[in-house]
A and B are shown apart, each in its own frame.
Chain A
Amino acid sequence: MSHDHDHDHSELSDIELRVRALETLLTEKGYIDPPALDELIETYETRVGPKNGARVVAKAWTDEDYRARLLKDATAAIAELGFTGRQGEHMVAVENTGKTHNMVVCTLCSCYPWAVLGLPPVWYKSPPYRSRAVRDPRGVLKEFGVSLPEDKEIRVWDSTAEVRYLVIPERPPGTDGWSEEELAELVTRDSMIGTALATSPLKEDLSA
């Protein structure tokens, strides 16, 4: 006789049981309010994500005054677009140039600029990236399909405090006259972490 059928009813992993136990106890003891939990999840599922950061970058690419404000006081400049708060309280924007490529990591935990990028991807929080980004960023970039010239400085930002870093990737060539909305489409999450470049429209043309 097979036991498979019985198992189907109760196959919860250890961690599922533990999280469920925590939620049950914390709710029954009145420390948390269940509708607030749903609202917290909903916020990051639908309202806060890398589209926020892409708007910041696209505006910096097209509006020189905004770019200057962003580099001087990123927290205030980003707040102008309505993005503020948790894990974005103290923002710094770092700009990629012909000479310097910036890349962001948190070797000690998973610090990430939520207000502009949303929640971090699993790889950002995992040992392979956290261990290597500070020692071998060029090798890391190769894994992401990015090859930088040997003479380009790579500047790695380890987010050890509550300061959060947003990389402003270089504006791709072939985008003269593009609108902010069009440009924002080229600004990927990874390009704002520094593990990718902004999407190039020229590349697409070449491969087409």
Chain B
Amino acid sequence: MNGAQDLGGQMGFGPIEQEANEPNFHEKWEERAFAITLAMGATGSWPLDASRYARETLPPAEYLSSSYYEIWAKGLEKLVVASGLVTDEELGQVKVLVPAKPVNKILKADEVAGALAKGAPVDRPESQPARFQVGDRIRTKRMHPEHHTRLPRYARDVEGVIETVHGVHVFPDANAHGKGEQPTWLYGVAFKGTDIWGPDSDPKLSLRIDLWEPYLDLA
């Protein structure tokens, strides 16, 4: 979706604020927001793609004025309500009003190290041949879907070259919306800065973007 999250190429945000010896968390609530987000992810109630969609559907003004852990917390509120684990009334009253729904897994402290070390790989077996090969010239689709997508606006309707065939990966556009993983080929695509930004681009700029097969056509 063309939400506030799709920031590539936007202007006017000012200088990059660096902080020397920055801590992971600036306030206690950030630690908690981080940990409950990961722990709820471990319940298997939604995939990471749905978390990203929950965050990017915040109204643009709110997205841009929220810190990143605020965005996480607000996304988590939406996810727990949408999945029926918590009701709006419960959030409003901070009181359990309806029985808990069963979840796939409740992460215990002694399982944390193992779960993090294992991660959640998204590569899947090949079920059909790849449509593109290394060296193929492609053009990204002109598209403006209202659903979750990982083709940034700045890289739409642009020519590039397939540089890497990563394999078959879970397709976020489907998986974010409860439509299953629909694994599809993922490619590393090389673009010239001038093809994306026009003649004013830094002539020595090139970009690499990982894109799924449905985003691409042969040029």
Contact = CB atoms under 8 A, between A and B. Distances in A.
Contacts of A38: 35, 109
Closest 9 CB pairs of A and B: A107-B8, A161-B210, A85-B119, A35-B109, A37-B35, A29-B100, A130-B7, A39-B112, A128-B13
Contact of B29 (A19, A89, A157, A162): A19
A118 B70 CA distance: 19
A137 B202 contact: yes
Interface range on chain A: under 10, 10 to 19, 20 to 34, or 35 or more?
35 or more
B96 A37 contact: no
Give the residue among B70, B109, B166 with the most A Cβ atoms within 10 A: B109
Interface of B: 5-11, 13-19, 22, 24-27, 29, 31-36, 38-40, 43, 52, 55-56, 64, 67-68, 70, 73-74, 76-77, 80, 85-86, 90-91, 94-96, 100, 103, 106-109, 111-113, 115-123, 150-152, 154-155, 166, 169-170, 172, 186, 188, 196-197, 201-202, 204-212
A127 B64 contact: yes
Given A31-B100, A32-B36, A38-B35, 4 more contacts: A31-B40, A45-B24, A84-B118, A108-B8
Given A122-B19, A154-B206, A20 B107 contact: no
Contacts of A134: 8-9, 154, 196, 207
A129 B74 CA distance: 22
A199 interface: no
Contact of A25 (B68, B90, B210): B90
A125 interface: yes
Interface in A124-152: 125-138, 140, 143-144, 150-152
Contacts of B70: 15
A127 B206 contact: no
Contact of B202 (A31, A39, A136): A136
A154 B166 CA distance: 22
A108 B152 CA distance: 7
A144 B205 contact: no
Given A33-B108, A39-B109, A161-B169, A129 B16 contact: yes
A159 to B, nearest CB: 7
Contact of B6 (A37, A40, A107, A123): A107
A64 interface: no
A26 B106 CA distance: 11
A104 to B, nearest CB: 10
Given A19-B73, A40-B34, A135 B6 contact: no
Contacts of A119: 24, 34
Contacts of B85: 26, 29, 31
